[in-house]
Structure 1
């Protein structure tokens, strides 16, 4: 029952997108003038939003974008920076720590969350914020977090050109994501997956790896190209084990076509998915596919896809040791 309910959190993404389309940012101000840089802070299922925004921004924004998935904010972030903290729960220790630090430094902070301490802080400090639908896991809430963050940024004067919800839901309804997900699950059931892509689609490959880690409880690997042609590719010359490569490939990318041929000649199974030029649509579509696939693999293995024991243990550990952790980071900053 629990696993089937969790699977529905991936199958209902069109409904989730429609929900978040009705949500509006609060306490917004126009910041397009004078902003020197954009910082996105987030961990895990919330943090992948930053990876997508970073990739999107490289062809749109004329200011640098920095990602933080840690307790420590880079020294160059301060006044005239916009710092967006993304945490589904609103209580992620690393993200909350960074949020407090950027506020202390005088940066313009903003919050994306479903509730928790971060929304309380945003209301108290009159920070721009947006509240996403609650009652889910961060990873199954990916489209809501991404669209809410894009909407918040747009309200602050930074338009990334992310499509509106209606356009995205129409796109998803045309795609048979559930069938694709179940088919991928069958192919990866007894395999260690390797997700490969161009740098542009690194967020998708990373998202796929994370989904199989958390939901299916299997190790997985990410490689991006052309960098992989300077190291990773040699590892397949005498490989052993049970691997399958999932290649997310733009139709006109001759480098990834060369990669596919090289891997096939090395005896690897290569599952290739051709991507269109609709970047955000493809990111959301294939994120849904790998989400469904990873949950299906867990269910076939008799595992609970929602349960993440070691993550829970880490969070409990860090709550008990947060003062020591932050002290060590502060010492590092002073060196």
Structure 2
């Protein structure tokens, strides 16, 4: 009876538009609803950007994305998407410094949505010294100023968004540039399918869609009061990371993630103690039709081996034909789940006070 009572409370809260607006004071719901359109705008921004002549016919030995938080995930998503296509590594750098291999044969995307991320500003200066090819993506700030002073045309995107909600601009502009540079194959057909899928999901997952027909609301209700443990294959590593960070920033809820097959070589043994704490965990498997066959088998066996320990096990599957559409369909679902979990937790999903406070304290050092 107690479980049913809690469930009904969550159902009423996520279906009550007035209640949602009282909690979602910064209107994160609208930003999520606008995501499909934002992705389309990101493509146009990339298409309209005038590439430097030094980038034409340039084949890098490595592509490096340098950024933090919502600005960095673009590199991870692109690496997952083209891992079986490109013949050079695509890596993401989240630090004040850059790897020693960066040189004139490296293409570096320096991304800071605000343009004021101190780690990214620091790494940008190092990239300049190494004489790497540079593409700067930002909405303004110090990074844009520095790029212009160094005669680098920044790719400008609209400002005024929380960085994590600007992914459509950041990802699709960079993804489009890689196609323009002929570093990855044309993804026009896959992009069109992705936009169509996201538009459909927007309707299925919106606050107007009632609980009984809204997958995101149902999953959020199950996650309330639990510690999500996210498992995925390497194909969905970036989507898993995005889900974890969205749970942290939007839902203000702690979670953990690991990947297959690696977790089968260590973490699987952790499902023993402390037993009382394990019952507070809820496992979420992120699955894709393109997962390696042996990985699929490992996931299935792992579920059976740990089934008695967590509070429950959920499966979330990608949908669509292309890898781009599949990955973004699941990412968008997870974004909405994090939103509804914030509503269940009765906390505004937009503010990130602790991050803001940390930055203020750093400035005072």
- 1:158 is aligned, of 183, 187, 190, to 183
Contact 1:20/1:133 (<8 A) preserved: no
C-alpha distance after superposition, 1:194-230 (max 9, x if no partner) = 1110011111111111011111111110010110011
1:18 and 2:40 equivalent? yes
Mapping of residues 52-63 of structure 1, within 5 Å: 52-63=77-88
Aligned length, in residue pairs: 321
1:243 and 2:243 equivalent? no
Instruction: Tell me the SS of whatever aligns to 1:194.
Output: strand
Contact 1:90/1:116 (<8 A) preserved: yes
**Counterpart residue number, 1:229:** 264
Instruction: Tell me the SS of whatever aligns to 2:162.
Output: coil
Contact 2:76/2:92 (<8 A) preserved: yes
**Counterpart residue number, 1:185:** 220
Unaligned runs of 5+ in 2: 1-20, 207-213
Scaled by the length of structure 1, the TM-score of the pair is: 0.88
**Counterpart residue number, 1:317:** 361
Contact 1:82/1:108 (<8 A) preserved: yes
**Counterpart residue number, 2:350:** 306
**Counterpart residue number, 1:257:** 300
Q: Partners of 1:155 and 1:124 in 2: how far apart?
A: 25
1:112 and 2:148 equivalent? no
C-alpha distance after superposition, 1:41-74 (max 9, x if no partner) = 1111111111112223421211122321010101
C-alpha distance after superposition, 1:241-272 (max 9, x if no partner) = 31111111124522222222223244541110
1:285 and 2:329 equivalent? yes
Mapping of residues 9-88 of structure 1, within 5 Å: 9-23=31-45, 24-29=48-53, 30-88=55-113
Q: Partners of 1:185 and 1:160 in 2: how far apart?
A: 37
Contact 1:79/1:108 (<8 A) preserved: yes
Instruction: Tell me the SS of whatever aligns to 1:61.
Output: coil
Q: Partners of 1:31 and 1:97 in 2: how far apart?
A: 27
1:171 and 2:171 equivalent? no
Q: Partners of 1:174 and 1:279 in 2: how far apart?
A: 17
Larger radius of gyration: 2
Contact 2:82/2:184 (<8 A) preserved: no
C-alpha distance after superposition, 1:161-184 (max 9, x if no partner) = 545653322111233344222222
Q: Partners of 1:15 and 1:132 in 2: how far apart?
A: 14
The 3 A distance-change label for structure 1 pair 191 and 160 is: farther
The 3 A distance-change label for structure 1 pair 255 and 39 is: same
Contact 1:46/1:138 (<8 A) preserved: yes
